[in-house]
Chains A and B, each alone.
Chain A
Amino acid sequence: MKIIIMAWRNIWRTPWRSLVVIGAMSLGVWSGIFMMGWINGLNDQRTISMLDDNVGHGRICSKDFLKKPEVFSTINNLEALSNKLVADSNVTTFSSRVICNSMIRAGSGSAPIIAYGVNPNNEKKVFKSVQNISSGGFLKGQVGDEVVLGEALARKLEVDIDDRVVLTFQDINGDVRSALFWLVGIYDGASSMIEESIIYVPSKTISFQMGLIDSIELSNESQIIAHEINYRVKNPYEIEKANNALESSFLKNRKSESQSIVFRTWKEVSPDLGVADAILAQSLLLFMMIILLAMSFGILNTMLMAILERTRELGMLMAIGMNKKKIFKLIVSETILLSFVGLPFGLFLGHISLLITSKTGITLKSVEQGFEQMGLEATVYPSVVPEYYLPITGLVLILSFLSSIYPAIKALKLNPIESMRVL
């Protein structure tokens, strides 16, 4: 007990030295927490950005369509499925698409593209890319002969707003049909590849042209037929649960349907996003290790220096009669007491810095332009990650402890007489 009091007094006797050690520990904790928050925020932002752009959180289509995207491979029981999606508590919004592989002819060229027949109001709620209209406007409804192209495609075909565009495709009977559309808007997509291959048309118009529906009913708001439904959930990282719940709920009384419909999560739709996530997690571990090692060395070095600085003092203590075991305990106690100040302070710093930057964001000036081209924001919002606080604090505590042992042992080897003579 006396040792602890001595330790406490020692700490405050040499404020600078103590502050340095406290500083090193706080910094260790802060750096760990902040890095986790930063990387999480960065990765989530990127993943979510991609999900928002083109992937969606979950996707439903018919099994046949997945194998081969034919005109007639539509989703059965669309209405029942839509009702289920509306009722599901996890699902926030959804949008259905009619998918048409066709040739587009316009201006001075032609190209193979995929036309998405959509209900613009729903599509906008699920996907961000259709909100980035660089000229003109998006589709006005499910009916009409409007078409929206990507910037790269518009450039390639040399077309402008109000130009004629002809889509040639096969209808449900296998006949080749041509349909005229007028360009009303140009969108800025996530990549030029997407811009060159995806166009948007009103769902009912294209369904009618493809022979999927018999007439265009203006009164009925809901979509009658679709090849694919994309939906969003509250938390895309918990998509598996939501997807499974949705699937089992829908198939509960429809055993026969289970063979013809497929429910997929974004990880299945776009496996490379999932892989990027996994790679990141493991490289994060590596970086974390390096930072914590650097911190340990910092503490180690500081402690060593501290011991060196205290040789006189320690020598004196030993000369007075304090035995080596007690000196060891003294040094270790000092470290532990310092950590009682350093660790909480580091935690506080970490939490506050994440809290603030998660609202204001950190802007990466150097890549602002490049980011914007990709449709990403150059401002990253770190996430607050309370689940890491305990492990990181624990780790820093252990490392600090270990880092102080070596200097402590060194102290024991000191020769009391010599150390008093040191200059």
Chain B
Amino acid sequence: MVNKFILPFFLIILSFSINGQDPVKILQKAEKANQQIASYSEIEITSEKPRYTRKIKLRNWSLNNNYSMVEIISPKRDSGMIYMKSGKRLFTYSPKTNRIIKLPSSMLAQGWMGTDAQFDNILGTASLSQDFSHELKMAITINSESCHFIRCVPLPETPVAHDHIDAFINKQNGSISRLEVYNKKGALIQQIDFLEYKIIDGIQIPVSLKFSAKKGTQNTELKILAWKKRPDLKQTFFTESTMKNLEP
């Protein structure tokens, strides 16, 4: 008698808990993890193209989306080059020419690091949790981790050109495991894999990312070699004089 009641009761509760997972909340939590924190990091980017592979190492000071400074430290030919985004302006400095050049603002609109690691290209200023409609699908295993599978379709006014984005959120740590970007014809245009997360300085950071485009012929791997919180970074740091006298 009790069994007859308890089993369906359990099933009902179970189904509630699955459907009770609000995709918006899941995404909100995941996006929070990627929020901007003033930091210093050392990054290695490996860019795989059909004809060649290129590795660069750089140091990155970042306050937020609008203030960041990047110095290339490897390979030797390009080392010392500095790019700085300060508010709405983009600068570059080269010790070889000893000149600071203000880059035309049109480059701001283009993803300026020359690799395929461009979040801006995919989402721009849109937010997955707020500017998309969501459909929670069957959980799936990605990179040996069990993940929520959420299909995000851009709302009619969202300034995003893609047909839909599939987001895979790691059930364990609540962060994004993968993003798949599709066009209207159902073809996968781009894929971002967040391969590894580490907790550094109390913050969960994705330390290994892989961007694939053009059916896997162009891959970019981003590895964070070091990361440090930098609450001392202010807007005043991001100036032309700093570019010339960057701390070692």
A, B co-complexed = yes
B189 and A176 contacting across the interface, CB-CB below 8 Å = no
In angstroms, how far is the closest chain B Cβ from the Cβ of A161? 11
- Cα of A180 to Cα of B160 in the assembled complex, Å: 7
Interface residue from A102, A105, A168, A174 paired with B88 (Cβ < 8 Å)? A174
B161 at the interface (CB under 8 A from A): yes
The interface residues of chain A, by DSSP majority, are classed as strand
Interchain CB contact under 8 A, B109 and A166: no
* A163 surroundings in chain B (CB, below 8 A): 161, 184
> Which residues on B sit within 8 Å (CB–CB) of A180?
157-161
**Across-interface contacts of A344 in B (CB, < 8 A):** none
Q: Contacts of B121 on A, CB cut-off 8 Å?
A: 105, 110
Contact A108–B183 (Cβ < 8 Å): yes
Verify A107–B108 contact, CB threshold 8 A. no
Chain B residue nearest in CB terms to A169: B109
A166 touches B88 (CB 8 A): no
Contact yes or no, B108 A176, CB < 8 A = yes
Contacts of B89 in A (CB 8 A): 174
Please indicate the chain A residues that have their CB under 8 angstroms from the CB of B75 in the complex. Answer: none
Interchain CB contact (< 8 A) of B109 among A103, A108, A158: A103
- Residues in A with CB closer than 8 Å to B185 are 158
Give CA–CA (A104, B158) in the complex, Å. Answer: 15
- Other-chain contact of B124, A107, A112, A166, A170 (Cβ < 8 Å): A166
Do residues B109 and A106 form an inter-chain contact, with CB atoms below 8 A? Answer: no
Residues of A within 8 A of B160 (CB): 164, 166, 180
Instruction: Evaluate contact between B184 and A107: CB separation under 8 angstroms.
Output: yes
In the bound complex, do residue A107 and residue B158 qualify as a contact, i.e. CB atoms below 8 Å apart? Answer: no
Is B242 close to A, CB under 8 A?
no
Smallest Cβ distance from B91 to chain A, in angstroms? 14
Give A158 to B160 CA distance when docked, in angstroms. Answer: 16
Which chain A residues border B157 with CB–CB below 8 Å? 180
Contact with B along A339-372 (1 / 0, CB 8 A): 0000000000000000000000000000000000
Asked, given contacts A176-B88, A178-B124, whether A166 binds B161 with beta carbons under 8 Å apart, the answer is yes
A165 within 8 A of B: yes
Chain A 94-109, CB within 8 Å of chain B: the 1/0 string? Answer: 0000000111011110
State how many angstroms separate the Cβ of A251 from the closest Cβ of chain B: 33
The total of interchain contacts (Cβ-Cβ below 8 angstroms) comes to 60
A163 to B161, CA, bound (A): 8
CB-nearest residue of chain A to B160? A166
CB of B109 within 8 A of CB of A168, answer yes
A179 within 8 A of B: yes
Distance between Cα atoms of A147 and B171 in the complex (Å)? 41
- The interface residues of chain A lying within 8 Å CB-to-CB of B109 are 102-103, 168-170, 176
B-side contacts of A169, CB under 8 Å: 109
Known: A169-B109, A178-B125. A107 touches B88 (CB 8 A): no
Closest to B155 in A: A180
Residues A165 and B124 in contact, CB atoms below 8 Å apart: no
In the bound complex, residues from chain B placing their C-beta under 8 Å from that of A175 are 88
Q: Mark B169-197, 1 if CB is under 8 A from A, else 0.
A: 00000000000000111010100000000
| Chain A, residue nearest B124 (CB) | A178
Inter-subunit contact A179/B189 (CB<8 Å):
no
Closest Cβ of chain B: how far from A25's Cβ, in Å?
A: 66
Q: With A and B bound together, what is the CA distance between A163 and B184 in angstroms?
A: 8
Per-residue interface assignment for chain A, residues 152 to 193, with 1 indicating a CB less than 8 Å from any chain B CB and 0 otherwise: 000000111001111011100111101110000000000000
- Chain A residues positioned under 8 Å from B124 (CB to CB): 166, 168, 178
**Is A164 within 8 A of B161, CB to CB?**
yes
CB-defined interface of A267-305 with B at 8 Å, one 1/0 digit per residue? 000000000000000000000000000000000000000
Q: Find chain A residues with CB under 8 A from B125 CB.
A: 178
Contact across chains for B161 and A107 when beta carbons are under 8 A apart: yes
Q: Is the CB of B161 within 8 A of A105?
A: yes
Within the complex, what minimum Cβ distance (angstroms) separates A362 from chain B? 46
Min CB distance A117 to B, Å, is 17
Q: A105-B121, A108-B183 are in contact. Are A178 and B106 (CB under 8 A)?
A: no
Provide the bound-state CA to CA distance between A166 and B154, in Å: 12
Nearest CB in chain B to that of A162: its residue: B184
**Cβ-closest chain B residue relative to A102:** B109
Q: Which of B187-213 contact A (CB under 8 A)?
A: 187, 189
By beta carbon, the residue of chain A nearest B106 is A101
Nearest-CB distance from B68 to chain A (Å)?
A: 14
A106 and B108 form a contact (CB under 8 A):
no
Q: Give, as a whole number of angstroms, the nearest-CB distance from B10 to chain A.
A: 44
Give every chain A residue within 8 A of B108 (Cβ-Cβ).
170, 176
Q: Is the CB of A108 within 8 A of B187?
A: yes
Contact of A170 with B161 in the complex, beta carbons under 8 Å = no
User: Which residue of A has the minimal Cβ distance to B87?
Assistant: A174
Query: B143 at interface (Cβ–Cβ under 8 A)?
Result: no
Of chain B, the residue at the smallest CB distance from A174 is B88
Contacts of A165 in B (CB 8 A): 161
In the assembled complex, the CB of A180 is this many whole angstroms from the nearest CB of chain B, namely 4
What 1/0 flags go to A76-110 for Cβ under 8 Å of B? Answer: 00000000000000000000000001110111101
Provide the B124-136 mask, 1 if CB < 8 A to any CB of A, else 0: 1100000000000
- Determine how close the nearest CB of chain B comes to the CB of A338; give it in whole angstroms: 73
Closest to B154 in A: A164
Decide: A166 and B184 in contact? CB cutoff 8 A.
no
Distance A106 CA – B184 CA, assembled complex (angstroms): 10
CA distance A409 to B185 in the complex (A): 86
Besides the known contacts A166-B159, A168-B109, A180-B160, 11 further A-B residue pairs in the complex with CB atoms under 8 A apart: A103-B109, A107-B183, A112-B110, A158-B183, A160-B184, A163-B161, A163-B184, A166-B124, A166-B160, A170-B88, A180-B158
Can you spell out 27 A-B residue pairs with CB atoms less than 8 angstroms apart? A101-B106, A103-B106, A103-B109, A105-B161, A108-B183, A108-B187, A108-B189, A160-B184, A163-B161, A163-B184, A164-B154, A164-B161, A164-B163, A166-B159, A168-B124, A169-B109, A170-B88, A170-B108, A173-B88, A174-B89, A176-B88, A176-B105, A178-B124, A178-B125, A179-B159, A180-B157, A180-B159
A residues lining the B interface (CB < 8 Å):
101-103, 105-108, 110, 112, 158-160, 163-166, 168-170, 173-176, 178-180
Closest CB pairs A-B (n = 10): A178-B159, A174-B88, A180-B159, A168-B109, A166-B161, A178-B124, A105-B161, A103-B109, A106-B161, A164-B161
